[in-house]
Amino acid sequence: MLQHSLLVGVAPQITRRVGYNALVLSSVRLSASRSFSSCARRYNHLNDRQATAAAVGPHKNDTSSPSLAVAATNHGGDVSHQNPAHHGDWVLFHPVYTPEELKAVEVLHREATCFSDKLAANLVKISRWGYDLVSGYKHKVIPPGADMTLQQLRKEGYVLDEKQWLERILFLESIAGVPGMVAATLRHLQSLRLMRRDNGWIHTCLEEAENERMHLMTFMTLRNPSIFFRAMILGAQGVFYNMFFLSYLISPRACHRFVGYLEEEAVLTYTKCIKEVEAGRVPEWSDMPAPQIAIDYWRLEPNAKLLDVIYAVRSDETTHRFVNHSLANLDVKTDVNPFALQEPDMHIKGKKIAFERPEAEQYFKETRHILQKISAES
């Protein structure tokens, strides 16, 4: 079970969520007599009727909801917590990070322990190898004590220039936006087909898909890709979408694990990019102003730099890494999404690879308790 420190990390986040930061509190008061047992369905606080009701809430613009009235009070009357000075076409939740959270990310890896996990991890490795081969990228370590100019380092393939970095980022983000949409689509159709609620999974999957799309839209402001590059993305997306679609029908758990490993690679890529920019090896980006779309989306300072954007994108990828590895640890058929109510902050997501199932249950219980307390005090 999680320690008290988790609860402390959760509390400040309750009032910082951009979307539905306090789901229907009247639902969480529903009583349920079912407790944790060792039966085949493994009922606990992630799949009892009380959890199911709590994971489905009102639209964020429904100011008549008591829970959202609390949110509006905490945010000065602004339910969505969006400053009027900001604008954009996104409508789903996405985190806004403090400077401390942006620096709290660690490069982590989850060891594969079963056949499906090993298959997912190896598929990610094969995918990366294939793209590196097609793009001509070779990861070469700069020799110790090498006295080479930046031009020489780039010519020898030790570092990437800004064009090469953009190609890798644009390709990565165009593919990374697929899994969340596929998962949300299939779970949405399943909910309609079976005529029952989805227990909060659809929203998180959609949020991930839109978040990845916003990464792509942000970096697209820096470069207009060639016809060949667009054709390569078109082909890759067509193959990947259909393969992931069929795979999710067979094993949703393995697919979430695959995405978790894919996001591990994304965190690694952006971490290296940050180090290269800070070391002065991508001087074109050192003082480049952040695109306006990024300033609006991540609520950055007006004078923010592109490096600040890359830090924010890396934090997003860390969130996806944590969420997908955690979802892969759950029972995808019966468990409520523990992040439907709230996500932990980056001091947890950035330093912990995932919640195991008992930890996810404890986190959901603690989050629900906080929301109940807010409702009682309002």
Amino acid making up residue 246: L
For 195-251, where are the alpha helices, taking DSSP H only?
201-220, 227-250
Instruction: Give the number of other CB atoms < 10 A from CB of residue 190.
Output: 16
**CA trace torsion 236, 238, 240, 246 (10° rounding):** -160
Tokens of 32: 């349920």
The answer to whether 342 and 21 are in contact (CB under 8 A) is: yes
Expressed in percent and rounded to 5, the helix, strand and coil fractions of the chain are: 60, 0, 40
Of 334, 329, 359, nearest to 344 by C-alpha is 359
156 is in an annotated binding site: no
The answer to whether 374 and 46 are in contact (CB under 8 A) is: no
Exposure of 319 by Cβ count < 10 A (0-12 exposed, 13-18 middle, 19+ buried)? Answer: buried
Angstrom distance (rounded) from CA 226 to CA 122? 31
Exposure of 72 by Cβ count < 10 A (0-12 exposed, 13-18 middle, 19+ buried)? Answer: middle
212 is in an annotated binding site: yes
317 is in an annotated binding site: yes
Phi-psi region of 136 (alpha: psi -120 to 50; beta: other; left: phi over 0): left
β-strand partners of 305: 289
Q: What is the DSSP string of 98-127?
A: -HHHHT------PPP-SHHHHHHHHHHHHH
How far does the chain reach from its first CA to its final CA, in angstroms?
A: 30
263 is in an annotated binding site: yes
Annotated binding site for Fe cation: 173, 212, 215, 263, 317, 320
Annotated binding site: 173, 212, 215, 263, 317, 320
